[in-house]
Structure 1
Amino acid sequence: MFAVISRSRVTERIGKADDVGLQRSRGALDLTFSNREGISYAARRFQQGALKVRFPNVAKDEPPEAVIINTAGGLTDGDQLDIAMQVEAAAGATITSQACEKVYRAIGEPAEISVRLTLDAGAAMDWLPQPTIFFDGARLRRETQVTMAADARFMALESVIFGRAAMGETVEAGSLSDVWTIERGGRLVHVDRFVSGEEIGRMLGRATVLDGHRAMTTMRYVAPDASARLEEMRELLGSVPFPAAASAWDGLMVMRAVAPDSYCLNRELMRVLGAFRRRSMPRVWSI
């Protein structure tokens, strides 16, 4: 089922020696979803190293759901994950993760995550990984590149939790570089970059960043009806008990929110996005 086949879309970094000789985690995942007689299915499945994927049962009228699993249990300095996903013409897929990705204290280079997502004509993808938990002293460099047809539909959620409130954790040191680029119909429509210095706690405390909150999230919805659905999203956000807002332009909607902790954030995300998607969030999101 998961034979080692061509890796044309994932980088050849697994097994690369590092300078200090410490054990590092490497993982690669490459999936392609196709449409056959109106039914979407996973036509290509490649997994290697720490990354695995499982496909839970879904209702007959829903697209296949892929659950990403990092068997290493988290990331630290020098770890590398490479993910490539393609949804072919008229196919659909929902991608999520088994649990929150944890990024632990680093002693050297940052952990790296590279994600490349491709949507062909008439394709639909919901990219809904669970939040990333960022521990004190962690370093992470993540880059997500999306290439999609003009009539494709793409929803993406990305959340980061800075220390677990229930454990009394705070984040003072560490660095985060998180870059998104989206090309739609051959045209660059979105670039978003969040970059901190090593004193990330000071940056997060600013009123223009998290203003004392521990969690942040961004939803991106790229589709022909993105602008038409803006008021629908704003109405859903009206009852959210923490700062949240949405805007839309040129076929792209962006929603951002900050929350006091992960529990509050996930509870509201499940309600808001479940209503906006017109189907429940993946079962692994249940709290």
Structure 2
Amino acid sequence: MTVPALQQPVLERARGSVSLGVARRGERHVVAELAQSGCGRLLFPAIAAGRPLEAVVVNTSGGLTGGDRFDAALSLAPGARALATTQACEKIYRSDGSDALVETRLSLAEGASLAWLPQETILFDRARLRRRLTVEMTEDARLLAMEAVLLGRKASGESLTQGLFRDSWRVRRAGKLVFAEETAFDGDLAARLSAAATLKGAAAYATVLLVVPDAASHLQAARDVLTKEAAEGGISTFERLCVARVIAEDGAALRRVLIPLLGALGGELPRVWHT
């Protein structure tokens, strides 16, 4: 008798999306449009009048693995101000071979101001993640964006030896591409990430981007922070924007630099960063 071959089980995949529109009503910045589905949720801590709307993105699945997808879209109307973050670090778990996908789209109208400051993304060994950030903004809009990545949890003895991480940034101001970046880690990562040309063995790193008309005026204060904190990194300015890179031995050391650095660049910290 022929025994039929066992079929591979079809695993459920997480799907989440959030979409937020922010408008200005006098001195208040309010939710004008809201949509959320799957494992995506948005929370709005109470704020005082005149302060930016604070939005907290939540992934109720607790993390992502191969085949999962999470999308976030934030749109700010003229004059609106918002601060957006995530409830916790986003965890990217070991994959069966397929990729997790994360896409963030930001749109800023005339005079709008947005701080996109998610908490760190943690890549576990053999994780596979493709992430994309796209921004469309007007000439006088203001954006502070940050993405921080932890390569495993050093305190738990974890490291990233195999996997894939592809990170794409595209920022257009008044239709002109002013910032484009591609980061790619793939395959056998241990030796590559320890090289001097990459992360020098650091287990955490961050990119901070400031796009404002007066970006150059923030440059010296940001450099002073890096010097004071003895941080491994640097910052430069061009096209009326500032780009900072920081690497650190672990997530705690990275945050010790990021908190004053974001302040020097004019950013307000989300309250969930302190809880």
RMSD over equivalenced CA pairs, Å: 1.4
- Mind listing any 5+ residue stretches in structure 2 that lack a counterpart? 1-7
Compare CA radii of gyration and give the structure with the larger one. 2
From the superposition, tell whether residues 278 and 46 of structure 1 become closer, same or farther in structure 2 (CA, over 3 Å). Answer: closer
- Say whether the 8 Å CA contact 1:175–1:199 is kept in structure 2: no
Query: What is residue 146 of structure 1 aligned with on the other side?
Result: 135
From the superposition, tell whether residues 97 and 278 of structure 1 become closer, same or farther in structure 2 (CA, over 3 Å). Answer: closer
1:25 aligns with 2:11: no
Query: What is residue 79 of structure 1 aligned with on the other side?
Result: 68
Query: What is residue 4 of structure 2 aligned with on the other side?
Result: none
Structure 1 stretches of 4+ moved >4 Å: none
Q: What CA distance in whole angstroms lies between the structure 2 residues aligned with 1:20 and 1:153?
A: 48
- Say whether the 8 Å CA contact 1:119–1:152 is kept in structure 2: yes
Question: For residue 257 of structure 2, what is the amino acid of its counterpart?
Answer: E
Question: For residue 212 of structure 1, what is the amino acid of its counterpart?
Answer: G
Q: 1:142 Cα shift?
A: 0.5
Q: 1:36 Cα shift?
A: 1.3
SS in 2 for 1:203: helix
Match of 1:248 among 213, 237, 241: 237
Question: For residue 211 of structure 2, what is the amino acid of its counterpart?
Answer: V
Query: What is residue 238 of structure 1 aligned with on the other side?
Result: 227
1:215 aligns with 2:210: no
Match of 1:98 among 65, 80, 87: 87
Task: Name the one with the larger strand percent.
Answer: 2
- Say whether the 8 Å CA contact 2:222–2:264 is kept in structure 1: no
Query: What is residue 47 of structure 2 aligned with on the other side?
Result: 58
Question: For residue 219 of structure 2, what is the amino acid of its counterpart?
Answer: L
1:112 aligns with 2:112: no
SS in 1 for 2:218: helix
- Say whether the 8 Å CA contact 1:227–1:250 is kept in structure 2: no
**C-alpha offsets along residues 91-121 of structure 1, whole Å, 9 cap, x if unaligned?**
0100001100000000121100111100001
Q: 1:248 Cα shift?
A: 0.3
**C-alpha offsets along residues 124-178 of structure 1, whole Å, 9 cap, x if unaligned?**
0000000000000000000110000010000001000001111010110001000
**C-alpha offsets along residues 40-62 of structure 1, whole Å, 9 cap, x if unaligned?**
11111110000101001123331
How many pairs were matched up? 268
- Say whether the 8 Å CA contact 2:225–2:257 is kept in structure 1: no
Q: What CA distance in whole angstroms lies between the structure 2 residues aligned with 1:45 and 1:244?
A: 38
Q: What CA distance in whole angstroms lies between the structure 1 residues aligned with 2:10 and 2:37?
A: 21
Query: What is residue 270 of structure 2 aligned with on the other side?
Result: 282
Q: What CA distance in whole angstroms lies between the structure 1 residues aligned with 2:54 and 2:73?
A: 15
- Say whether the 8 Å CA contact 2:24–2:79 is kept in structure 1: yes
Q: What CA distance in whole angstroms lies between the structure 2 residues aligned with 1:209 and 1:123?
A: 35
Q: What CA distance in whole angstroms lies between the structure 2 residues aligned with 1:122 and 1:283?
A: 24
SS in 2 for 1:107: coil
- Mind listing any 5+ residue stretches in structure 1 that lack a counterpart? 1-18
TM-score (norm 1): 0.90
SS in 2 for 1:238: helix
Q: What CA distance in whole angstroms lies between the structure 2 residues aligned with 1:264 and 1:286?
A: 15
Query: What is residue 173 of structure 2 aligned with on the other side?
Result: 184
1:201 aligns with 2:187: no
Match of 2:120 among 131, 135, 150: 131
Match of 2:36 among 42, 47, 68: 47
SS in 2 for 1:277: coil
Q: 1:77 Cα shift?
A: 0.1
Query: What is residue 145 of structure 2 aligned with on the other side?
Result: 156
Q: What CA distance in whole angstroms lies between the structure 2 residues aligned with 1:57 and 1:89?
A: 22
